[in-house]
Structure 1
Amino acid sequence: MSRPRILCISFSDIRSDARVLRQLEVLARFGDVTTLSYGARPDAAADHLELDRALPSLPQTPLGVAKLALRRFASVALDAPAMVAARGLLADREFDVVVANEARALPLAFAVAGSPKIWCDLHEWAPAERTHVLSWRLLVAPFMYWVCARYLPRVDAATTINTSIADMYAEQFGVRPEIVRNARPFVPELSPSPVTEGLTRLVHSGGAVPGRNIEAIIDAVDRLGEGYSLDLFLIPSRQGDAYWQKLTERIERSPRTTLHPAVPPDDLPAALNPFDLGVFLLPPHTPNHRLMLPNKFFDFVQARLGMVYGTSVETDRLIGDHGLGVVTPGYSAEDLVHALRGMTAARIRQYKEAADGVAESMSSDADVLVEEGILVRLTDGDTTAGTGVGEARGPA
């Protein structure tokens, strides 16, 4: 009997997308996976359809923008340059299961030939992905809301990163996604690194994109002075050349900040382990920021680091419940300086030991079970058990 044919769509470079990489490892156990994304073929994929990195996944052409402004969403859903290219690459190929990573991939998933089962992995609250940007708020947010309203009730499975965001999908679209956090596999070989008296080693990892407030962390470590250092493991944005140049110039002016090359997701815990405190100060520009539970939270846990986070609903709860670190009331350099000044080596050791204590329970084991359950249902033909989704599709 032939293995199920699985298509995984992600408008990212999957090789540097930790969430989709973990997803692929599970998909590959259930079938032969074809990936459709920017960048080269990920290792777990049997086949790959590569999109040109220059092609946007939203309808940003003059005609596309005009259609968004006129709310002609049905006619623009597949007009984005990357969507047009993707349909050409797919042609009439058929699949048994299609995994749409993020809501923007749903129109394409429903256009795939045949009648595949569709699982949508909603990495965040789609209608507010970038609502701090005026053009997104005016043009794209209404389109994303339409995509969710039109397609989500017809998928066979849906997942998202935490309960807060799942509740929003249930309230707005009548679909309650299952929870697949951004947790990563347990790294048993790591333990808390020693803490050096008189030196606090801060570290931050992730995408170097505007709005992440990396500058505030650099400013804080410069203000703190002797006894503090900051190491950055950053991934430049695909569209962020100007910002990247500005940020690297700021880093070069800081005597206490070191920029490292990005490391593969699997290697990140070991790269972070020598440091003391993982730092993230993301202002709540959007509901996704306010309700975040990002990859880096779980990266810091597996690296056995303490944490300093700007206040956010989900991370506040986990940090407080498990004694993992400090939550700052605001997101400025001064907030971070206040949180760090006077923090003792003994407290840092406590935070790192607390991370060690929860590393196994906060690993991706529970999330893999959810994904495996979905794939068992989809590949066996039972698409509705336990999901609250999977209504008759009708025309796309």
Structure 2
Amino acid sequence: MSTGRARVLLVAFTRHHDDVRVRRLVRALARTSDVTTAGYGPAVSGALRHVTLGPADSPHPPATAVATGWLARGVSPLLRSAAARTTAATLAGDRWDVVVAVGVDTLPVARHLADGAAVWADVRAWPDAGAHGPFAPLERDALLRVLHEDLPRCAAVTAASGALADLVRREVPGLEPDVVVVQDTWPRAELAPTPVGDPIRLVRAGAARANAGLETTVEAVRTLGAGWSLDLLLVPGSDDAVLRRLHERTAELAQVRILPAPEPDDLPAALHGYDVATWWVPPTTTQACAALPSFLLAAVQARCAVAVGPAAQAERLVRSYGLGAVAVDVFAATCAASVRRLGRDGIAAAKERADAAAGELSRGADDTRLTGVLDRLRLG
């Protein structure tokens, strides 16, 4: 492959503007490559060309709707989704040096369009993530089939956390080259820990979606009572009912506010000034246990303490760096007790430890690994 600027296609069936991982990958790739992207909403900074699969507020339909017959015939339903068809039709005949598939659901169309180019699979979530409703088992089975059949044919594989990389290695043994961990870290923020507030300020940021522990978080703060507050910084999800229920549940709870999420790049600065970032997500799926949310890594840059439930990767982060509290389950009373035990002194100490860890948990090392993957593919 040429040592000049590479022609890179990045496909992610998400709203790119709100997708921290996509924004980060595009910016990194654009330093040495001409990047074309395909996804929902407008282009993000660094994309030379963008294929819009729908407006930013488009619901992302299940990849496998009415797919039973396709699976039975051995045809990947992921090539039959509207997003895949639009991507394939718009970019047919274009030539690439590297095709980056962000998410397992994009791998079939990425390999279809690569036509001999190197395919880089970025495994950002395990196939059980977000699988709900009547087509959930079929969607999960289709994604697992892609994982087993397509991943070994990729020239590079990255994963969003160490636990996720371990899962990939266990499910798809013998991958060559090995899975490279590229976490959703942030640039080191030149911030200092703030004094613990009165009330103690809890925060949670992310999408307003079901099964994300948001109602548990509200109930935990209700249990904590006076002296504690909570801000939910939320992006509307695909189900409006989730946000509506949260507003109803918090209507008489003065210590809880529901606010719009900040712009993605502004998250660490927006979290600065809070005391504890909470992530009490039920560990009911493989993905929930393996995920290391960018929100928690942003909280470290904001010098917040961190409180999580018993999800393996998030728990590992908190325990490894002494960042705060780990609840043994995600019942509201247990979550409340875990942060109450920290107390003001424990929260202040955890914020200082976040400050000490901010350099190690910043973007530098992950960017080096990401650049190394691209350089190997460009020169290979």
What's the C-alpha RMSD, in Å, of the aligned pairs?
A: 1.9
Residues 57 and 4 of structure 1: CA distance in aligned 2, closer, same or farther (over 3 Å): farther
- 2:336 — aligned with what? 337
Task: Indicate if the aligned counterparts of 1:218 and 1:254 stay in contact, CA closer than 8 A.
Answer: no
Amino acid at match of 1:339: S
Q: More deviation in 30-39 or 108-117?
A: 108-117
Displacement of 1:290 in angstroms is: 1.6
Task: Indicate if the aligned counterparts of 1:100 and 1:120 stay in contact, CA closer than 8 A.
Answer: yes
- 1:246 — aligned with what? 245
Q: Does 1:293 align with 2:292?
A: yes
SS in 2 for 1:365: helix
Q: Which of the numbers 8, 11, 16 marks the counterpart of 2:10?
A: 8
SS in 2 for 1:195: coil
Residues 223 and 106 of structure 1: CA distance in aligned 2, closer, same or farther (over 3 Å): same
The separation in 1 between residues aligned to 2:61 and 2:72, in whole angstroms, is 18
Residues 265 and 227 of structure 1: CA distance in aligned 2, closer, same or farther (over 3 Å): same
- 2:44 — aligned with what? 42
Task: Indicate if the aligned counterparts of 2:68 and 2:138 stay in contact, CA closer than 8 A.
Answer: no
Task: Indicate if the aligned counterparts of 2:9 and 2:36 stay in contact, CA closer than 8 A.
Answer: yes
- 1:30 — aligned with what? 32
Equivalent residue pairs, number = 373
Displacement of 1:57 in angstroms is: 5.5
SS in 2 for 1:330: coil
Q: More deviation in 242-251 or 15-24?
A: 242-251
Residues 45 and 31 of structure 1: CA distance in aligned 2, closer, same or farther (over 3 Å): same
Q: More deviation in 270-279 or 248-257?
A: 248-257
SS in 1 for 2:116: coil
Identity %: 32
Displacement of 1:247 in angstroms is: 2.2
The separation in 2 between residues aligned to 1:166 and 1:60, in whole angstroms, is 25
The separation in 1 between residues aligned to 2:250 and 2:46, in whole angstroms, is 36
The separation in 2 between residues aligned to 1:171 and 1:319, in whole angstroms, is 24
- 1:178 — aligned with what? 180
Q: Does 1:93 align with 2:94?
A: yes
Task: Indicate if the aligned counterparts of 2:23 and 2:45 stay in contact, CA closer than 8 A.
Answer: no
Q: What does residue range 214-293 of structure 1 map to in structure 2 within 5 Å? A: 214-237=214-237, 239-293=238-292
The separation in 2 between residues aligned to 1:352 and 1:372, in whole angstroms, is 31
Q: More deviation in 309-318 or 152-161?
A: 309-318
| TM-score (ref. length: structure 1) | 0.89
Amino acid at match of 1:104: D
The separation in 2 between residues aligned to 1:159 and 1:185, in whole angstroms, is 20
Amino acid at match of 1:295: S
Displacement of 1:240 in angstroms is: 1.5
Q: Which runs of 5+ in 2 are unaligned?
A: none
The separation in 2 between residues aligned to 1:360 and 1:75, in whole angstroms, is 43
- 1:201 — aligned with what? 201
Q: Does 1:108 align with 2:109?
A: yes
Displacement of 1:84 in angstroms is: 1.2
The separation in 2 between residues aligned to 1:350 and 1:73, in whole angstroms, is 56
The separation in 1 between residues aligned to 2:167 and 2:352, in whole angstroms, is 35
Q: More deviation in 169-178 or 300-309?
A: 169-178
Amino acid at match of 1:202: L
Q: Which runs of 5+ in 1 are unaligned?
A: 383-396
Displacement of 1:75 in angstroms is: 5.0
Q: Does 1:150 align with 2:154?
A: no
- 1:388 — aligned with what? none
Displacement of 1:134 in angstroms is: 5.5
The separation in 1 between residues aligned to 2:76 and 2:162, in whole angstroms, is 33
SS in 2 for 1:5: strand
SS in 1 for 2:202: strand
Task: Indicate if the aligned counterparts of 2:280 and 2:308 stay in contact, CA closer than 8 A.
Answer: yes
Amino acid at match of 1:118: V
SS in 2 for 1:352: helix
Amino acid at match of 2:374: L
Amino acid at match of 1:185: P
Residues 149 and 257 of structure 1: CA distance in aligned 2, closer, same or farther (over 3 Å): same
Residues 348 and 116 of structure 1: CA distance in aligned 2, closer, same or farther (over 3 Å): same
Task: Indicate if the aligned counterparts of 1:30 and 1:375 stay in contact, CA closer than 8 A.
Answer: no
- 2:319 — aligned with what? 320
Displacement of 1:137 in angstroms is: 4.4
The separation in 1 between residues aligned to 2:257 and 2:48, in whole angstroms, is 38
Amino acid at match of 1:201: R
What CA deviation, in whole Å up to 9, does each residue of 1:49-107 have, x standing for no partner?
1011547454444xx33326x53342533111111111222132221111100111011
- 2:126 — aligned with what? 125
The separation in 2 between residues aligned to 1:334 and 1:55, in whole angstroms, is 34
The separation in 2 between residues aligned to 1:213 and 1:92, in whole angstroms, is 45
SS in 2 for 1:259: strand
Task: Indicate if the aligned counterparts of 2:276 and 2:305 stay in contact, CA closer than 8 A.
Answer: yes
What CA deviation, in whole Å up to 9, does each residue of 1:121-155 have, x standing for no partner?
100223x2235x35354211111111112211111
Displacement of 1:168 in angstroms is: 2.1
The separation in 2 between residues aligned to 1:110 and 1:344, in whole angstroms, is 52
SS in 1 for 2:42: coil
- 2:346 — aligned with what? 347
Amino acid at match of 2:222: D
Residues 139 and 95 of structure 1: CA distance in aligned 2, closer, same or farther (over 3 Å): same
Displacement of 1:3 in angstroms is: 2.0
SS in 1 for 2:35: strand
Task: Indicate if the aligned counterparts of 2:152 and 2:172 stay in contact, CA closer than 8 A.
Answer: yes
Amino acid at match of 1:267: D
Q: Does 1:191 align with 2:204?
A: no
